[in-house]
Amino acid sequence: MKLSFRWYGKDDPIKIEYIKQIPSMHSIVTAIYDVPVGEVWSIESIISLKEKVENSGLKFDVIESVPVHEDIKLGLPTRDRYIENYKENIRNLAKAGVKVICYNFMPVFDWTRSQLNKVLDDGSTALVYYKEQIDKMDPLKGEISLPGWDSSYTKDELKDIFDQYSKIDEEDLWENLEYFLKEIIPVSEENDVKMAIHPDDPPWPIFGLPRIITKEENIDRFLRLVDNKYNGLTFCTGSLGSGDFNDVVKMVDKYSAQGRIHFIHVRNIKLLDDGSFEESAHYSSEGSLDIVEIMKVLHKNKFDGYLRPDHGRMIWGETGRPGYGLYDRALGAMYIVGIWETLNKFHS
């Protein structure tokens, strides 16, 4: 297992030098954030970022993420230009030593929450998804702005893209994903870069938009689209675990045994009776997911890919990007490393 940590570059309030101080830290997970979606990242900008990371003493080998342009997801005639740009990004990142690229195929919105700073019983704050609140939201009114939501769209542009998605269903989205994969996976294999799709978060349709990377049956279908080890997963325990229909431990066991998990996000969530959820501390006793069992099956299957502690609470008065504070994610990293070290000692 290679421990990694998400860092948002020059705009991240967390100093990369602090991340280096977390024991066993191997890699920084980052991206180029100032290039429009669908355009080519220059080799100069990639190398500059690589040097910043490596000067801190950490590795630059995982990118999260190279976003997929909406025209590709919609299957528009313009998609081929954006796919060619995507291939060029794979080639450029390979030249810089990148080994894994995380991406997702969620229409319009990335991860969705109803509150960013819900105060929990212990006084910390966390990201939460309350269905009652989501049901009252209307993104087309232009009144909502949450992380994971593409704020580059104007109100009219967002309405237009919703209109386009109203013409496609899940099967259309599957066809468009297959088209994309059959174009990019040969390039990723040629350049020895593993592609790792992130599941939909949460794993059900949002605001009438289709979502397909949601459950075991669909992940099996995804992996069959291009049955190649370079076509794999960023397995996010919190994303898939927020659906009570997913047996996360079983799925981690299955896909890590198959060698199809290239990157794993480990976090915990507390499931509520109405299908809502709250993000919690990483510890198994704090949430609904058994992190110890997840780590046990990874260890059993000799997982040697990349792992990062995912969203954490904001604790000890820390401010900044919700879900991406230093302190709680560092605690999560140490919890994960402690489990792994124990497994190494008892199963060596």
Q: 264: closest CA among 336, 341, 343?
A: 336
C-alpha–C-alpha distance, residues 177 and 186, integer Å: 15
Supply angle C-alpha 333, 335, 336, rounded to 5: 65
Known catalytic membership, residue 347: no
Q: Which two tokens stand for residue 304?
A: 């040697």
> In sequence order, which ranges of the chain are alpha helices (DSSP H)?
16-20, 43-55, 70-74, 79-95, 131-135, 155-165, 170-190, 216-225, 237-241, 248-257, 291-300, 326-346
Known catalytic membership, residue 299: no
| Catalytic choice (103, 299, 311, 335) | 311
At 153, which amino acid appears?
Answer: Y
| Catalytic choice (201, 236, 253, 306) | 236
Supply angle C-alpha 26, 27, 32, rounded to 5: 170
Known catalytic membership, residue 236: yes
Known catalytic membership, residue 310: yes
C-alpha–C-alpha distance, residues 59 and 54, integer Å: 6
| Catalytic choice (69, 262, 265, 299) | 265
Known catalytic membership, residue 324: yes
| Catalytic choice (82, 86, 129, 324) | 324
Among left, alpha and beta (phi > 0; psi -120 to 50; other), residue 104 is beta
**249 alpha carbon, distance to own chain's centre:** 18
Known catalytic membership, residue 265: yes
| Catalytic choice (198, 262, 282, 299) | 198
C-alpha–C-alpha distance, residues 47 and 213, integer Å: 32
- Partner residues linked to 27 by β-bridges: 4, 59
At 321, which amino acid appears?
Answer: R
Q: 43: closest CA among 57, 32, 55, 58?
A: 32
C-alpha–C-alpha distance, residues 222 and 225, integer Å: 5
| Catalytic choice (306, 310, 328, 335) | 310
DSSP-assigned letter for residue 286: G
Q: How many CB atoms lie within 10 A of CB 208?
A: 9
Please list the active-site residues.
Answer: 198, 236, 265, 310-311, 324
